[in-house]
Every structure is written in C-alpha cells, then in structure tokens.
Amino acid sequence: MRVSCRRPNVGVPQSSVKSKLRIGSFDIQINGGTNIAATELSTRQLRAFVALVDLPNFTRAAQACHLSQPAFSTLIRALEQEVGARLFDRNTRSVQLTPEGRLFEASARRLLADIARAIGDLGDHVERRKGRVHVAALPSLAAGWLPALFSDFHAQWPGIELQLSDQLSDACIDLVRGGQADFALAAAGSRATDSAELRMRVLCTDRFHLVCRADHPLATEPRLTLRKLQPFAFIHMTRNSSVRQALEVALHPLAMSTVLEVEQLATVMGMVEAGLGISVVPTLTLYQFRRESIAIRPLPLPQLTRRIYLVQRREGSLSAAAGGLHDMVVERLGSLSI
C-alpha cells in the first residue's frame, strides 16, 4: 500500500523555511527542506522507520522487519529522500532521531494505526463480522416469511445490522432504484419490467385463494370459478397493490361487486371475519387468515397468479453482508412450495 503525500516545491536553504508535509490526513511541520515535491510513502517505509525508532540499531531493526541490513538501510535512505529531510543521526555507537524525525514519528505511528484499522474493518465486513443490509419487501413477505429467515441470518452473522422497509411493490422498487435498498422482494409491474436499471429474477409464483366466512355459501361450493364469486360483495385491496393488479388482469372483463377497498390485508381479514364480504388473496398472505371463523379455498385458476421477483440494480456489486442475505433469500424463497 502506498500513501500519497504532497509538499510545496521550494529551493531555499534548509534553515530558512518551514515546509508542511502532508501524510494521509496528518500535517507535519518540518524546518527547512530543499527541492520538496509531490511524493509517495509506502507502509513498508513507515514500518521500517518505526522499527528503527523502537530499536535504535540498524541490525536489530532490520531483523524485526525481516530484511537484510543493507536492504533496510536502503529503505531508510529512500524514505529520507522522499520526505526531503534527515530523520536519523547515525554514528558507530547509536542511532537517534533528528528534530524532523521526532516530528515525523507521531504522524507515522498514527498513519500506520489508521491503515491497520482500515484493513481490519474491511476484513470484518468481508468476513461478515460487521455490515449493514437494507431490504425492501412486500408487507406479506415482511411479516409472514422474512422473520424466520432474518432470525437465522442474525444467528449466523450477529454483527450485521438489518434494515427492512415493508412497502408495496412500486415503493420497494423505487428504494432499490434510488440506491437506498440493497435489493427488494416485490411483485412485478410495468415500472419494474420496463426499467433497464434493474435486474429482475423470478423467485416464485404466488397463487390465490378465496377467503370468506366459514358459514358463507362459497365455503362449501364444490367447484369455484370467478363467475361464481361475482355476485357476492367483494373486499378489494387498493389499485396500487400487486394483489389488486393481478386480480384485475385475471378478472377482465368481469367486474366484482366491490363493497369496500382497503390498504392492509389485516383489514381485509377483519372485514371478511365480520361478514362484510369475500376476498381473494395470495398464498403468501394466508398466515393472516388462518382462524376457525374463516374458510380458505384454493382457486384453481392458472391465469390468477403473481410472480415474486428479487430486484436489484444492474450496476454495482452487493456488499459481502448483502450478498450473504441475498443468497439465503434465493435459496429459501426459490425452493418454497406455494
């Protein structure tokens, strides 16, 4: 690793000017200096410098750096040439820091410590000991399917922070497109499939079920069709929901007798249980309707489905943390039998 440094270019005697040497985020004031120009320092040079400060003997410092003494001496001379200042006074009996060397020491140690911390922090993220993942998901997945997966992921990588945005499909896709979410679990709409910015991967196909009160005539109807549902009061999701969009495509040109339009599936459940009407909901939402007072009937209608997609940006890579959760989602949801 090399660290860029810049020094003002001057050409005056060493004793007549103070020059500022910038190493990383540190400034060092050095008295004097000639022909100072932009330069680069390596971590190898910095480590050799610190070793010679700690072990003021070229032989011992070279051994600590696993170098021959000639190679070590060359490294120190190159460092002094790079910074444009003598850092050590040498004689046959001792090695001592010069005033410029003492100024350089503190910054050299801080810079090496910063580099070590940066590499360690990066390693923590690569090894998934640290990190952050932001997922956007349909509310039905966020409440019904993701909790168990998040729990397993957290048990495996407890240092990773998870953020979940439970939104309708369009909002989920916008979070990915805008870079706020790493990836999304959403049902496809025209905004998603038409975008060259996004990569869409089908994870599963969600089928639909009739939900009605257990004492409703349709609860025991031998063969369900959309026409048999048409005469009954219907509770719809709002038009911007993937459930409503899939249903309207399958129903066309039929029209249901809408009695109520709501935004939340929990509200659908409450209204159905109260006997206000019937509704049609996807398999992934059925956990909210499993109670004795409500009948759940599969609808054998191949045209009535919705695809669940994993959505991510085409450009850019996922972090190690996001990649780990991504792979777990693909494995679990892709093999889900619905």
Select the CATH number that applies to the domain covering 132-204+307-334 from these four: 2.60.40.10, 3.40.190.10, 3.30.830.10, 3.20.20.70: 3.40.190.10
CA 298 to chain centre: 37
Burial class (CB in 10 A: 0-12, 13-18, 19+), 29: exposed
Is residue 39 very low, low, confident or very high in pLDDT (cuts 50, 70, 90)?
low
Q: For residue range 296-334, what is the model confidence (pLDDT) as tens digits?
A: 999 988 888 888 999 999 888 888 889 999 999 998 877
Name the CATH superfamily housing domain 205-305.
Periplasmic binding protein-like II (3.40.190.10)
Does 102 score more than 60 pLDDT? Answer: yes
Mean pLDDT across the chain: 83
Is there a shared CATH topology between the 132-204+307-334 domain and the 205-305 domain? yes
Instruction: In whole angstroms, give the CA distance from residue 170 to residue 309.
Output: 12
pLDDT in tens, 43-58: 899 999 999 999 999 9
Three-state SS for 235-283 is EEECCCCHHHHHHHHHHCCCCCEEEEEECCHHHHHHHHHCCCCEEEEEH
In contact, 189 and 177? CB cutoff 8 Å:
no
CB under 8 Å to 83, separation ≥6 — which residues? 5, 7, 21, 30, 39, 41, 100, 104
pLDDT higher at 4 or 269: 269
Where do the structural domains in the chain lie, given as residue ranges? 2-125, 132-204+307-334, 205-305
159, 130 in Cβ contact below 8 A? yes
> Domain 2-125, CATH 1.10.10.10 — does that match?
yes
Task: Specify the DSSP element, H or E, that contains 131.
Answer: strand 131-137
Q: Give yes or no for residue 145 having a pLDDT over 60.
A: yes
